[in-house]
Structure 1
Amino acid sequence: MSAFPSKQALALDAVRRAPFHFFQVDNFTDLGINDGSELRAPSYWVLWYAVNTLVTIHCWTSWQEGIKRKRLINVTTSLIHSTISGLFIFAYFFMYTKLVFASPLHYYSYLDSQIVMLSIGYFFYDAFDLLLNDKLSIATGVLLFHHAASILVLSTAVLSHKFLLYAYWALLMEVSSVLLHSRSLLHLSKLSTTSMIGLSRVVAYFNIVFFVIFRFLVQVFLVGWAWVNLDHMHSAFAAIALVGGLCFFVINVGLFMRILHSDGFFLPSVMSEGQLDALLEDNDYSKVGTSEKEDLLEV
């Protein structure tokens, strides 16, 4: 062992010798890891509010202010997030395939964690938007639970400096969300029944395929990997992976059934309108008339 005291020991000694102040500037950087992390935490949720503002100003301007334009703006913002995160994660998987399979637990890079932090910011933004602008309902509650669970899972990687690539696997579901949000925009804007009927059908079919691959199969890997590595992590992390995986699976099954129903792949008699209501991603339709409600139910 070194005969000289460590930097941390010297810093602790300096704390003991320093006069006591109730409020003081903390310059004792040697007491911990001095990598400047406290100065590198961008407020991505503010960024998403800025994105939403730009979308509000420049998109869907020909639409009258109301529930449908609000929904179009919200889905457009969501599409921007899923496009950025989904394409980045997909490209990362393509370039570092062996790495994402080999080390979902231990690999960590501050730079690579930014896409996770960006998504955490998005889920915070969207959750606040729901709380401020939506009427509380079962559907809103499910979506808030989804966002809270997503923040918990993704924050685990950022705070522990572990499970970064596990979070990448979870974000791979955003590839499916690109098709999901595109489909919603086509339906809401009525382009699916006018000038873009053909494109809408193509998107509908690809949405089903991508949903199975990038949601259900990804979840199979996430749960399977967690099960294989149960002995290599704390039980709290294992619970997040297994219980969280089950919750996301239930949410995705409900969403998948709604998509199959509204796109004509599922017999209407199998699911009632009331059951379909409960599977909606939001409850905007509850504030409008019957005709508009039917439009939103088709999204």
Structure 2
Amino acid sequence: MDLKSTLLVTGGSACSFKLLNTIVRFLPTPEPAHKKAWKWRNIITSLVHSSLTGAWAVLCLYHQPHMLEDLISSHSLFSHRLVAVSTGYFINDFLDLALNQSIRQSWEVLLHHSTVISCFSLAVKSRLYLGLAVVSLLMEINSVFLHIRQLLLLSGQKNRPGTEITAPHPSVTYSVTSWLNLGTFLVFRVCTTGWMIHWLATHSELVPRYVLMMGTVGLSLISTMNMVLCYRLLRADILTSTDNTGKNH
């Protein structure tokens, strides 16, 4: 794709996700989520992006396994469009967060999005490092379950009916989602990030200094956010459940 086509795909993606967010506004919203209607719409939009790009990244690597051997120069129209579409989503989500949440609430996500937009824009414009961008989008597979978990919390479906006050017990749906979230977190976030860090360290001589700096900063940020997120998930879904079980006995 030339630059004009790339901009059209990226801009079209941003507009499409904005349109999706608007359509969700007119769909039924669970009563517990009414007070956080904006967040409900934002997470559903994010869930669609994660489902789309996570599956797309797997297809890219399945049909083009050589990308894993050459993350710098190997690319295709299929992978190029994937990264362009994802860039459009992150631009839309950045604006959505900036306009609807305070900086205090959203600064971590805004910093993450800024880093991703910078790295993906470089890959899309130069047609280099697309393999690295595609590998990073494997993390969206975990984001699918992360977003479903958030939707269950917003809709008040975390606990089994009738157990909320006396002795809260997670519902089957929430428990399954929670374990899938933690399992895919380990595989698609921790392992993927570790593999990317190892690749960047062993191929640093092939990467320009400014790209190496962008990659190092980006992966350091993602690694830090992953550790914080993992702690929060374990505290909320594992440690709390263990404490409640102990108290009930």
**What TM-score results when the alignment is normalised by the length of structure 1?**
0.72
What does 1:61-210 correspond to in 2, within 5 Å? 63=31, 66-97=34-65, 99-137=66-104, 139-194=105-160, 197-210=171-184
1:49 is aligned to 18
Gap regions ≥5 residues in structure 1 = 1-34, 270-299
8 Å contact kept, 2:32–2:154 = no
Output the amino acid matched with 2:155: S
Gap regions ≥5 residues in structure 2 = 162-169, 244-249
Deviation at 1:37, TM superposition (A): 3.5
Q: String of CA shifts for 1:147-187, please: whole Å, max 9, x gaps.
A: 10111111121111100010001111000100100111111
How many positions carry a matched residue from both structures? 232
Q: 1:37 to 1:52 in 2, by over 3 A?
A: same
Output the amino acid matched with 2:140: E
Task: Name the structure with the higher helix share.
Answer: 2
1:289 is aligned to none
Output the amino acid matched with 1:86: G
8 Å contact kept, 2:14–2:92 = yes
**What TM-score results when the alignment is normalised by the length of structure 2?**
0.86
What does 1:228-267 correspond to in 2, within 5 Å? 228-265=202-239
Q: String of CA shifts for 1:77-123, please: whole Å, max 9, x gaps.
A: 110010000111123323333x1321111112234211111111111
CA RMSD in angstroms comes to 2.2
Higher CA-based Rg: 1
Output the amino acid matched with 2:24: V
Taking CA–CA contacts closer than 8 Å with sequence separation of 6 or more, which of the two structures ends up with the larger relative contact order? Answer: 2
Identity, % of aligned pairs? 25
Aligned equivalents of 1:65, 1:266: Cα separation in 2: 23
| Dislocated runs of 4+, deviation >6 Å | 266-269
Output the amino acid matched with 1:239: M
